[in-house]
Structure 1
Amino acid sequence: MTAVGAARITSAQQARTVAAQLATEFAVDAAHRDRDRALPFAEIGTLAASGLLAVTVPAAHGGADLPPSEVAEVVRLLAVADPNIAQIPHSHFVYVNLLKLAGSADQQRRYLTGVLDGAQIANAQSERGGATIADIATTVRPLADGQQFRIDGVKYYCTGSLFADVLAVLTKLDDPEGTSGLPPGQYVAFLPADTPGVRIVDDWNGLGQRTTGSGTVSFEGVVVDRDQLVARTAAVDAPTAYGASAQLLHAAIDAGIARGALTAATDFVRDKSRPWFEAQVARAIDDPLLIQRFGELAVTVTAAEAALVAAGVAVDAAVDAPERVADASIAVASAKILADRAATEVSSALFEVSGTRSAADDLNLHHFWRNARTHTLHDPVRWKYQHIGRTLLHGTPPPLHGVI
């Protein structure tokens, strides 16, 4: 794992302060990076060097061991400035959490030490071609000695892979003879991004989140050692806060987009918009209908942010209390619904309240809507309504599949 001499963050307040400082810096050229699809290598390097990527490392390994709520606030602050940069480390935090929940002591020491030094983990998880996204075709097969394994497969939407030191590769054990001695199931292989047989392709062409490095990664005859494999079952097949923590960060990104879009709309109307003649006012900001609409949008954003805070509290409480995991998942589902709604509504309403001038392509104000529309596709909120309703009416807990 690559060390970049990262700073050490020791408290939640320090993490928030650093995140706010970086957000101010990253916001300056965010629209230009999006317009030109200029990948934020320098910015991600700055993020890694800041120590923010290590805030969830346990204290026993030298980290701040911040709770999920604080990580969500860090991500939200970054997303207000540039949701691309905020999404890139999402998988990093998810797989650090996997190591904490399911990694051996040696694996934790090995990989978390690298994270403390600034190393970045990216996902290689999603696939195409299966009946659903839950079907994993990428295999990990034992070699003759039983201590090494071969990985073959292709992954898509590998956010952050272009910037990563380590890839976390979701695989399915293919060992019908049981020669490895490992139980069947899914395993995450942690391997250096430059491992022979790994090919990272910069082919992400989404309409939004253009600079997240979410391209294709292929694995052909990639050899890994046994101690690079972490069984996923301990995190996703038991009541843990693993899924809720991951979804909380997605909600934080959407809430950040909503706040960023509202701020951009406010600034534009104050500085550039002309009033509609029927309002009979000298300034657009004095139009009573605009004032009303901004009030409505502000409530929408504030509600999403409040739900995010409440969900963070619920997830924090569930980290060491399995009996609270279901409540945490429902709280996060509610927050994700509100953040999804806020991000898409406010980023669209930006043009409604700002007027024709705001549609000029060179301003690239549409990057808020494109980012919101793209990121909110990550997992459908319609199923979150289902889980909330079933829990309320039937008393049945949400499923343990890691995406609620």
Structure 2
Amino acid sequence: MTAVTAQRITSADHAREVAARLASEFALGAAERDRLRGLPFHEVERLAASGLLAVTVPAAYGGADLAASEVAEVVRILATADPNIAQIPHSHFVYLNLLRLAGSEEQRRWYFTRVLDGARIANAQSERGGATVAEVRTTLKPLGDGRFRIDGSKFYCTGSLFADVLAALVRLDDPGADSGLAPGEYIAYLPADTSGVEILDDWNALGQRTTGSGSVRFDGVLVTADQLVERSGAVRAPTGYGAFAQLLHVAIDAGIARGALTAATEFVRTRSRPWFEAGVERAIDDPLTIQRFGELAVAVVTAEATLTAAGLAVDAATIPDPGPEAAAAASLAVATAKIVADRAADEVASALFEVGGTRSAAADLNLDHFWRNARTHTLHDPVRWKFQHIGRAVLHGTPPPLHGVI
């Protein structure tokens, strides 16, 4: 486990204050880290030491137990500075939530305590080569002695290079006669340095370049039943599990949009020249530039407001026994927010060059990292399917599906 000594966050206000302070630090080197693909090991250590990674630990286990909306705001603040760092703990929060919803008392006590001490969890979930992204081919096989063997490969394992614990999605087809487990999908929580685990730094996307989203291979990895959590209790029930996970993605996109708008504003104020036909001395007095910034500001503020509304809906769906109506409302609210934030992030990050002019395209400035991050991150969970779920709810009264990705 990690050697970081973590502080304790005590309230939502405290969390926002710490997030804002870290964001001001992380923003300074974000463009350079992106240009050089400098992995943010130091910054992630700072994040873990700040206590922000433990804000969802329930109060009964010593955590701040922040609501989903507050966690999303922390992520949004970090994403305005560096969306790579904001995305790294996404799976950390998601798999802490799985423990809260479906883990045993012993599992919750063990992992929540480790996280309060600064431990970091990363995912090993997605796979290449399957018929769809939902297909799980990494196997979990009982050995008959209380242990299970994991074999398979994972891709897009965000945060894995910085992790103490990997949360690996596996499929159990034949649990054996005496394992006490049912067939199905499980999350295996295992130390990142477990024998047979290989973490590869092979992520090469055009954006979100420093998230540590490489591959993980499992070759004869041994686990015991106390490291396994069945997914169905959280994913196939109206728990708000998927809505919470998607809400954090919305927060990242909204943060990118705000960061791009801030960068565009600073550039136009300090470096841009007005178009000669405007008849003004400063770029910020060009009426067409003013108009465009008004449009971009509306897009960003709308994304932030929709994120806030979705966060409140997820809060209502993550109380004890929220009921299917609250869970459905949360998923639809988050789907709406995802569409709005997706558009804002891509539009504002691209418009930065439109309003900044030719000077803003200089390679040494690396202002394109906003657009590359937006374009890459918004590929998560295509918004065209969000429209489908919203439309079916409006026309047919059909609730969104329970599959953990809405």
TM-score above 0.5, yes or no: yes
TM-score range, shorter chain: over 0.9
Question: Residues 68-217 of structure 1 correspond to what in structure 2 (within 5 A)?
Answer: 68-145=68-145, 147-175=146-174, 177-217=176-216
1:327 aligns with 2:329: yes
CA deviation profile, 1:149-183 (whole Å, cap 9, x unmatched): 10000000000000000000000003164442311
Q: Output the amino acid matched with 2:153.
A: V
Partner SS, residue 278 of structure 1: helix
Which amino acid letter does the alignment assign opposite residue 391 of structure 1? A
Partner in structure 1 of residue 296 of structure 2:
297
Q: Structure 1 counterpart of 2:100, which letter? A: K
Amino acid at match of 1:224: V
Moved segments of 4+, more than 4 Å: none
Question: What letter corresponds to residue 337 of structure 1 in structure 2?
Answer: I
Which amino acid in structure 1 is aligned with residue 170 of structure 2? T
Aligned to 1:7: 7
Q: Identify the residue that residue 46 of structure 1 maps to in structure 2.
A: 46
C-alpha distance after superposition, 1:36-85 (max 9, x if no partner): 00000000000000000000000010000001000000000000000000
Offset at 1:31? 0.2
Alignment identity in percent? 76
Q: Decide whether the 8 Å contact of 2:342 with 2:378 is kept in 1.
A: yes
Task: Note if 1:351 corresponds to 2:353.
Answer: yes
**1:402 partnered with 2:404:** yes
CA distance in 2, matches of 1:335, 1:367: 23
- The CA deviation string for residues 94-140 of structure 1, in whole angstroms up to 9 with x for no partner, is 00000000000000001110000000000000001111011000011
How far did residue 389 of structure 1 move? 0.5
Deviation at 1:317, TM superposition (A): 0.6
Counterpart contact for 2:142–2:176, Cα < 8 Å: no
Check conservation: 2:175, 2:181, Cα contact below 8 A: no
CA distance in 2, matches of 1:94, 1:318: 15
Matched letter for residue 393 of structure 1: L
Could you say which residue in structure 2 is the equivalent of 1:36? 36
CA distance in 1, matches of 2:192, 2:295: 46
1:176/1:195 CA distance change after superposition, 3 Å: closer
Could you say which residue in structure 1 is the equivalent of 2:366? 364
* Helix, strand or coil at the partner of 1:28: helix
Distance 1:176 1:230, change over 3 A: closer
Q: Which residue of 2 aligns with 1:233?
A: 232
The amino acid across from 2:83 in the alignment is: P
The offset of 1:225, in angstroms, is 1.1
2:269 alignment partner in structure 1: 270
For the residue of structure 1 that corresponds to 2:5, the secondary structure is coil
| CA distance in 2 between partners of 1:103 and 1:3 (Å) | 25
Paired with 1:301 and 1:132, the residues of 2 have a C-alpha distance of 33
Query: Could you list the runs of 5+ residues in structure 2 that have no partner in the other structure?
Result: none
Q: What TM-score comes out, normalization by structure 2 length?
A: 0.98
Please report how far the alpha carbon of residue 4 of structure 1 lies from its aligned counterpart in structure 2 after TM superposition.
1.3
Separation of aligned partners in 2, 1:178 and 1:395:
43
Instruction: Tell me how far 1:204 sits from its aligned partner.
Output: 0.1
What TM-score, normalized by structure 1, do the two folds share?
0.99
Asked if structure 1 preserves the Cα contact closer than 8 Å seen for 2:142 and 2:148, the reply is yes
Q: Counterpart amino acid of 1:124?
A: A
SS at match of 2:199: strand
1:340 and 2:342 matched: yes
1:189-231 CA-partner distances (Å, limit 9, x unpaired): 0000000000000000000000000000000000011100000
In structure 2, give the amino acid aligned to 1:399.
P
CA deviation string 1:296-326 (max 9, x = no partner)? 0000000000000000000001112123000
Q: Which amino acid is 1:274 matched to? A: R
Q: Distance in 1 between matches of 2:180 and 2:39?
A: 43
Q: Give the distance between the partners of 1:344 and 1:136, measured in 2 at CA.
A: 31
Q: What does 1:273-292 correspond to in 2, within 5 Å?
A: 273-292=272-291
CA contact (8 A) 2:257 2:300 kept: yes
Q: What is the match of residue 244 of structure 1?
A: 243
Shift, 1:288, TM fit: 0.1
Distance 1:181 1:227 in 2: 11
Q: 2:4 and 2:42 mapped to 1: Cα distance?
A: 13
Asked if the contact 2:91–2:123 (Cα under 8 Å) also holds between the matched residues in 1, the reply is yes
Aligned to 1:18: 18
- Aligned partners of 2:143 and 2:149 also within 8 Å: yes
Letter in 2 for 1:68: A
Question: 1:144 Cα shift?
Answer: 2.1
**CA RMSD between the two structures:** 0.7
